Amino acid sequence: MIIPAIDLINGTVVRLYQGDYQQKTEYPLTAEQLVALYHQQGAKRLHLVDLDGAKDSQQRQTKRLAQIINSAAMPVQVGGGVRCQADVDTLLELGARSVVVGSLAIKQPELVASWLKEYGKQAIVLALDVNIDQHGHKHLPTHGWIERSEHTLEQLIDGYGADNIGHILCTDIAKDGTLQGCNTELYRQMKRAYPAIQWQASGGIGSLEDVKRAAISGADSLILGRALLENKFTVKEAISCWQNA
C-alpha cells in the first residue's frame, strides 16, 4: 500500500531534513488540498504528523488535525508527541483510525503494550526509527531523533512480543529526506524475522525505481512525503509501480 504523508508545523505543510527543525521546507498547498489530491489519485490511507506536538505536547495542533481528518475520505494514522493515554484518546476521538507512537514506545514499553491490548494492535502504530552503525546494529533514538536509547530494534520487538504488534513504521534516519532510496535491506531483514508484523517503510524515496525496490523488499506499505510534494511522481504512479513490482 502507498501511504502519502503530510507533516504540519503551525498548520502549514512542511518537510524536515533528517528530523532537523532547522532544516525545514514549507510547501504552498494546504493539507486539505493535498488530502483531496491524494485521494483522487487512489490513496487508501493517510499519514499525518503534528511536528509542533512532537516537539512540545503543549503545542499540539488539535483543531487543525481535526479539520484535516474530517476532510479526508480515507483512514488517517496520526502521530506527533504522543506521551500519555489522554493523547491517544484525543487523537482517536478526533477521528484518527490509528495513533502513531514513537519515543514512548521505547521509553515506556509496558505502558504502550497496555495500549496495544486495550485499543487493539491495529489502532497503534509503533514508529521505531533507526540509526544503523557500522556493525549493522539498529539503534533506536528517541524524542525526534535527539536522544539515543540503549535498545536495538530487535530487542524492543522481542520485549513486546511480535504477535502483540500490528504495525511498525520504520525509517532509517540516514535515508530520511535524501531522495536517494530507502534501506531495502532493512525491511528485507525485518520482514523475514517478523513476518506477522505489517512493516511501513519510510525515508529516502525519490523515484519510481525506489518505489519498486521498496515493494519487493518485503515492506507491506510505503510512506511517501517529499517526493510527492516535489512532484517527482504522483500517488497514482506510485500505486501502479507498487502493484506491478
Which helix (H) or strand (E) segment is 132 a member of? strand 131-132
- 34 neighbors 8 (Cβ within 8 angstroms): no
Closest residue by Cα to residue 27 from 182, 185, 199, 231: 231
Instruction: Please enumerate in sequence order all residues whose Cβ is within 8 A of that of 52, keeping only pairs 6 or more positions apart, or say none.
Output: 8, 9, 10, 59, 60, 61, 80, 81
Of 50, 52, 87, 129, which is the active-site residue?
129
Grid coordinates representing 91 are 487523537
Q: State how far the Cα of 60 lies from the Cα of 66, in Å rounded to an integer.
A: 11
Whether 129 is catalytic is: yes
What does DSSP assign to residue 56? -
- 70 neighbors 51 (Cβ within 8 angstroms): no
Partners of 198 in the beta sheet? 167
Grid coordinates representing 235 are 500517488
Residues catalogued as catalytic? 7, 129
